[in-house]
Structure formats: C-alpha cells, structure tokens
Amino acid sequence: AAALTGSAKSTWASFLKSIASFNGDLASMTAPPFILSKTSLVEYSAYWTEHPKLFVAPAKEADPEKRALLVLKWFLSTLKQQYSSRSEKLGSEKKPLNPFLGELFLGHWDDEEAGRTELISEQVSHHPPVTAYSIFNEKHGVKLQGYNGQKAGFASMTINVKQVGVARLRLEKWDEEYLITLPALHIEGLVYGSPFVELEKSTIIQSSTGFFAKIEYAGKGWVGGKSNSVTAELYDNKNGKLLYTISGQWTKELVVKQGKTEIERFEHGDKNPTTALSIKPIEEQDPLESRRAWAKVGAAIDKGDYEETGIEKSKIENAQRDLRKKEKEEGTTWERRYFSAVDQVEAIDALVDRAGKFMKGVLGLTPLCMDEPAKTNGVWVFDTKKYDDVISGRKAEEVKRAGEIVLEATE
Ligand SMILES: CCC(=O)OC[C@H](C)CC[C@H]1O[C@H]2C[C@H]3[C@@H]4CC=C5C[C@@H](O)CC[C@]5(C)[C@H]4CC[C@]3(C)[C@H]2[C@@H]1C
C-alpha cells in the first residue's frame, strides 16, 4: 500500500498515539476515516465457506483418515479469505463496523457440484462483541457452527488479538464431529499506516473418529520464514502416527505430503476460484440485516463523507443504547433469533479432553487451555428449534416486531 502522505499521515500519527492508550476493546477505538470499512464484522462468518466444493468434500470420502485430511485442507483454504482478503482487495486491513446486538448476515452459496450452502450469522453479544454462525449444506449433510470474539492488546506498535470461541464441523453421514480452534493474530504495518494481519502460535483440529491436527503459524523473520507461513501435521490418535503434513503460505499455495512424498498441491487463484455469496437485495432484507441496517453509513463511507458517517453511526449506536436501557428497565433481554448460550457442550468438552490427552501423552505438548476460548459469555450454539420457528413462520410476529423496534429507534 502506498505510504501515507499529507493529512492522512498526521491523522494516522495521532491515531497511533491513541492506540498507545488502548484499553483492549478494538471496537471502541476511533480509527481514522481512511481505515474504516463499510463491512460489518458480522459478515466475516462468510469467510469459512468461499470454497463450497472443499467444504462438502469430506462428506463424500468413505475413508476416515482421508476425510480428516480433507477437513484439514478445507480449514487451511479458508485462512486466506479470513485474514488477508481485505488487504488484497482494499490495499490494507480495514476496521470493520462494530455490529449491533442482533445484527444478522444471511446468504447462500450455489455451486453446481456442492449444491446450496446456507449462511446464518448473528451478533449474539455486543459487550463483548461475539458473532455466532451456522453454515450448512443439506445435500451433503455438512454443518459448521461456531462463535468468536476477540481479546486484543497493544504492544510495541502491534495490536495482538487472541480469538475466543471455537468452530465445530459435523458430518451427518459419518456421524462425525471436528473441533476447530481459532488462530491468534497480530496486526503488522501499523507504523506505516498499512496494517495487515499475520497469524501466530498454533491451533488444533480434533475429530471424534480419532484424528488430530496441529497447525503452526509463522510470519516473516521467523527462522527466515516467509510471511503467512503454516505447517500442519495430521496424526492418528490411536498410535500417534504422523499421517500427513500440509505446509506452505496460507495466502498462496499449500503442499500436502505423506512422509516425504508430495501427494497434492492446493493453490489459491484461478485454479481454485472462490464462489460469490448471494444475499437478498437490500430492499428485501429484514431491518436487522447488516447491509440494510448500515446502508446510510456505508453510503457515507463510500462518499468519503466522514461527517455524515459519524452522524449515521451515532444514530444506530444511540438507538442501541436506548434499547438496552429500556430492556434494563423492563427486565427483558434481546431475543437472539437463531442462537442460544449454554454453559457447556458435551461434544466440545469430549473433543477438548481427547485432544489434551493426545497432546500431553503422545506429543509431549502442553494441552491447549480451552477454558478461555470456549468461554465468552457462554458457549453459543445454533438453536435448530429457533431456526425452524423462523423458517416455518411461527415466529413471524416476533421477527416483524424486532425489525420495527430497530426501525423506530433509528428514525
Ligand atoms: C482498533 C484500531 C484500529 O482500527 O486499527 C486499524 C487496523 C485495521 C487494525 C485493527 C483491525 O484489524 C482488523 C482485522 C480483524 C480480524 C480479521 C479476521 C478475523 C477472522 C474472523 O473469522 C473473525 C474476526 C477476525 C478475527 C477479525 C477481528 C477484528 C480485526 C482484528 C480488525 C481490527 C479492528
């Protein structure tokens, strides 16, 4: 990205000073206008499935070991979209809009082979910000659900972000579940005014059929590594045998090896184009849907009219504050439309336990502490009953009412 010049340079300098007194809440930072994105964080759940074919591939594989490899390959293929698609498109990482409580992002991908994959993303918590999502492909019985929040800190001109939450992939046909933990990241390039994400430390994938993957992230300067480097190892829980490795740069190309033999390459780009998400035209969207709710703010950002951006953002933020105040007075809470918070999920605990035993017993590693990632303000799960009530129209009244409340508030 071009280095900053003129007024942008001075606003960025004062912004960097402001970050120095950073309180850990990314959303509360007032970033300079040119770093603002009109995309709300609630849209980021879509990054999990921009390669629908890779998402459904494991469902079609009868061999459990090969299935585990396909899940690992799909996960690694999502990293580029999750963590570097804004930099690729916009020249640098941007600050997403901070979703309001109940904000929705709904869409689907249609693929000639995979069929339809549905996306439901909902901002289930505003303080702290937590997004929950459910992405499912009925044709192949592949269901991903998860939630994430961020714990951020600032040190030596870098923003460090620890992700809170987990992703769970379920393959109905094989009655199999995968627990996926989320990578820590830091924002580099702040000093130059062109921030970008680099992933760090490691994550795991543990399957209910007994396969474990350890994924390590490294950036430039790490042992002469290149930026966006990743090394993944897939093990058999039963005997600790290393089955496959996948390594490379998650923004470019990944090489799959069995022992020393290369068996496959995955390359981003024309060979593996992403599939565009389809969403309803804004005029047909529910008032809680992100792009409708933020339409005026987005238009102001597109115009570069930051005065207008501020005015329109404040309307939404003030309306939200009034809603929370009213709920507090009435002793009610906002009804999450598709997700519910539970204290714990047996399936997650069982997979965390299995992974911990394997890491400690066989790999001699300190088991990942899952208490932190799994606990935001509860573990958020996709509530199929709530979903069915909405789809069947049984909740039409509440859905309509919720939209009206938001519309009235922002009038
Ligand atoms: C807050 C100070 C500020 O505005 O700095 C501006 C800079 C753009 C850096 C801060 C922002 O950087 C953005 C990167 C965002 C993460 C990117 C990808 C993901 C994966 C997704 O599955 C979950 C969300 C997550 C972790 C994003 C979280 C929010 C991040 C860190 C944005 C920062 C505000």
- Centre of ligand 1 to C-alpha 70, Å, is 28
Residue of 121, 180, 185 with the most ligand 1 atoms within 8 Å of its CB, for mutation? 185
Q: Which residue minimizes the CA distance to atom 20 of ligand 1?
A: 82
pLDDT score of 11:
81
Residue of 36, 83, 86 with the most ligand 1 atoms within 8 Å of its CB, for mutation? 83
- Smallest CA-to-CA distance from 174 within 52, 75, 60 is with 60
> What pLDDT band is residue 377 in, cutting at 50, 70 and 90?
low
- Centre of ligand 1 to C-alpha 96, Å, is 7
Residues touching ligand 1 (Cβ under 6 Å) are 19, 26, 29, 31, 35, 44, 47, 82-83, 93-96, 148, 150, 159, 161, 163, 187, 195, 197
pLDDT score of 411:
74
- Centre of ligand 1 to C-alpha 95, Å, is 6
- Centre of ligand 1 to C-alpha 51, Å, is 22
Write the CA distances from 302 to 46, 90, 282, 299, integer angstroms.
22, 13, 16, 5
- Centre of ligand 1 to C-alpha 128, Å, is 14
Write the CA distances from 14 to 32, 87, 334, integer angstroms.
9, 22, 37
**Whether the predicted pLDDT of 370 surpasses 60:** no
Mean pLDDT of 316-333: 95
**Whether the predicted pLDDT of 33 surpasses 90:** no
> What pLDDT band is residue 222 in, cutting at 50, 70 and 90?
low
**Whether the predicted pLDDT of 1 surpasses 60:** no
Asked if residue 72 lies in contact with residue 217, where contact means CB atoms within 8 angstroms, the answer is no
Could you read off the pLDDT of 170-203 as tens digits, one per residue? Answer: 999 999 999 999 999 999 988 888 899 999 999 9
Give CA 243 to chain center in angstroms.
28
Mean pLDDT of 199-217: 96
Asked if residue 16 lies in contact with residue 4, where contact means CB atoms within 8 angstroms, the answer is no
pLDDT score of 408:
85
Task: Return mean pLDDT, the chain.
Answer: 92
- Centre of ligand 1 to C-alpha 212, Å, is 28
Give the chain's radius of gyration (CA, Å): 21
- Centre of ligand 1 to C-alpha 237, Å, is 34
Least trusted range by pLDDT, from 49-53, 173-177, 343-347: 343-347
- Quick one: which atom of ligand 1 is closest to the CA of 131? 23
pTM of the full structure: 0.95
Phi (first) and psi of residue 234, to 5 degrees: -105, 125
Could you read off the pLDDT of 281-295 as tens digits, one per residue? Answer: 999 999 999 999 999
d(C-alpha 204, C-alpha 198), whole Å = 18
> What pLDDT band is residue 373 in, cutting at 50, 70 and 90?
very low
- Quick one: which atom of ligand 1 is closest to the CA of 29? 1
Q: Are strands 95-97 and 36-40 parallel, antiparallel or unpaired?
A: parallel
pLDDT score of 32:
82
- Quick one: which atom of ligand 1 is closest to the CA of 182? 22
Q: Which residue minimizes the CA distance to atom 13 of ligand 1?
A: 95
Least trusted range by pLDDT, from 51-55, 84-88, 156-160, 253-257: 156-160
d(C-alpha 116, C-alpha 138), whole Å = 8
- Centre of ligand 1 to C-alpha 197, Å, is 8
pLDDT score of 374:
47
pLDDT score of 270:
93
- Centre of ligand 1 to C-alpha 64, Å, is 35
Mean pLDDT of 389-411: 91
